Amino acid sequence: MRGPAEARRGSFLKEPGLILDGSVLIRDGLVEEVGLTRRVENLKAARDAVEISAAGRVVMPGFVDSHTHLAFPPPGWAHTDAASALNAVKTSSARSVANQMRKYLRAMARHGTTTVEVKSGCGGGPRAELKLLRALSLAGQDPIEVVATFLLRLPAPAEGPDPAEAAVEWACAEFLPLLNRRRLAQFADIVWSPVESRQRLIRRYLETAARLGLGCRVHADGGGSREAAALACDLRIAGIDHLEQIAVAELGGLAASGPVITLLPGLAFHTGSRPAPARALLEAGAAVALGSNFNRSDSPMLNMQTVVSLACRELGMTPAEALIAATINGAHALGRAATAGSIEHGKPADLVVFNVSDYRELGYHSGMNLVHLTMKRGEFIYQEGDVAPLAAEHLRRAW
Ligand SMILES: [Zn+2]
């Protein structure tokens, strides 16, 4: 995935930087060298290295899942209605929510994700939002890196003054400064509204977040994509996500030079809804990333390998485009391009070894876990297990 310093678009999205018969030299968790094996193994620094063979397999940067709702509804909660899920958050401690979240984070590690964005946004008021974000910071780096986002959902319109006014006032005056002081979120996100009077409020929210030094995102899963795209370009925000409803004529400056657009093919797969016009976005020069949108309500899939294969089958992306979108462009969407998304000198060694001999097979299989090994910062955090009979006493001990 070596390439230019900016998010990949146009012809750069076609070039995964493949090295045939390559090796990676890792020291103290960082990539020291990457290149042809015959060159790397002759380096002085490689003389005492422990060799881990990946012969016949594909080694890739770990997936960067740039859009999930993993935090809510909370894991381990059997019901899917929002009210009881919210109650579960309110009555649990941040520590126990974090422990539940780790189950999903571990499952992601098993499927090759090494960096993940997680949004709050339960709509349960300041205490519940704060609890989710505290739980995310407790789950922190274990086993994979969590990028925390506060997602503001504006309340439904009501009689009299628009309640969105008070919600944005609260966020700008109190909550965003608090999150920033406590370093509980790296991004501020907001669900876009097609209602014109609310767009002034959304602008205010994003401008306040940017002034505080938070990254900004827009969650544009409904109508009014043209206005969302225009504001995203105007404010130069980090990412705009979903865009299932956008028409190509509405892209404006979004395509050629705008923020990274995270597409979420798992949502259309699960709900039967219309997918985003990925091919048109790519042809127009957009920087596209891929996310799982993982949540227990309408997108219960966290395997980025399946997201890649859906992007190939349903969105018409090529395997190279989809894998770049799921790694280095995801890192750009999260402001992590210096530390994630590619195997390059000086970056943390976040790698996945896949049980395929050609990377294009990742666009073909679906649902199957092809991960042989996952490495985070130079340490193996997952290795696939053998299929073999287990003694009953072994099982009892594990249980
Ligand atoms: Zn979403």
CA–CA distance, 170 with 394 (Å, rounded to integer) = 54
User: Does the CA dihedral 58-64-66-72 come out positive or negative?
Assistant: positive
Alpha helices (H) along the chain:
37-40, 82-91, 94-110, 125-139, 163-170, 176-182, 196-212, 225-235, 254-257, 265-271, 278-283, 304-313, 319-325, 328-333, 392-398
Residue boundaries of the structural domains of the chain: 10-61+344-383, 63-333
CATH of 10-61+344-383, one of 3.90.79.10, 2.30.40.10, 3.20.20.220, 2.160.10.10: 2.30.40.10
CA–CA distance, 274 with 282 (Å, rounded to integer) = 17
**Residue 397: predicted pLDDT:** 61
CA–CA distance, 153 with 219 (Å, rounded to integer) = 9
Distance 298 CA to ligand 1 centre (A): 10
Tokens 């876990």 belong to 369
Identify the burial level of 151 via C-beta atoms within 10 angstroms of its C-beta, where 0-12 means exposed, 13-18 middle and 19 or more buried: buried
Distance 114 CA to ligand 1 centre (A): 19
**Residue 262: predicted pLDDT:** 96
Distance 323 CA to ligand 1 centre (A): 20
Distance 242 CA to ligand 1 centre (A): 7
Distance 292 CA to ligand 1 centre (A): 9
Distance 264 CA to ligand 1 centre (A): 8
Distance 158 CA to ligand 1 centre (A): 24
Topology of the domain covering 63-333: TIM Barrel (3.20.20)
Q: How many helices and strands, by DSSP H and E, does the chain display? A: 15, 14
Please report, in tens digits, the pLDDT of each residue of the chain (399 residues total).
Answer: 998 999 999 999 999 999 999 999 999 999 999 999 999 999 999 999 999 999 999 999 999 999 999 988 877 666 567 788 888 889 999 999 999 899 999 999 999 999 999 999 988 889 999 999 999 999 987 789 999 999 999 998 889 999 999 999 999 999 999 999 999 999 999 999 999 999 999 999 999 999 999 999 999 988 888 889 889 888 989 899 988 888 877 877 778 888 999 999 999 999 988 888 999 999 999 999 999 999 988 889 999 999 999 999 999 999 999 999 999 999 999 999 999 999 999 999 999 999 999 999 999 998 899 999 999 999 999 999 989 887 777 776 654
Distance 219 CA to ligand 1 centre (A): 6
Distance 68 CA to ligand 1 centre (A): 6
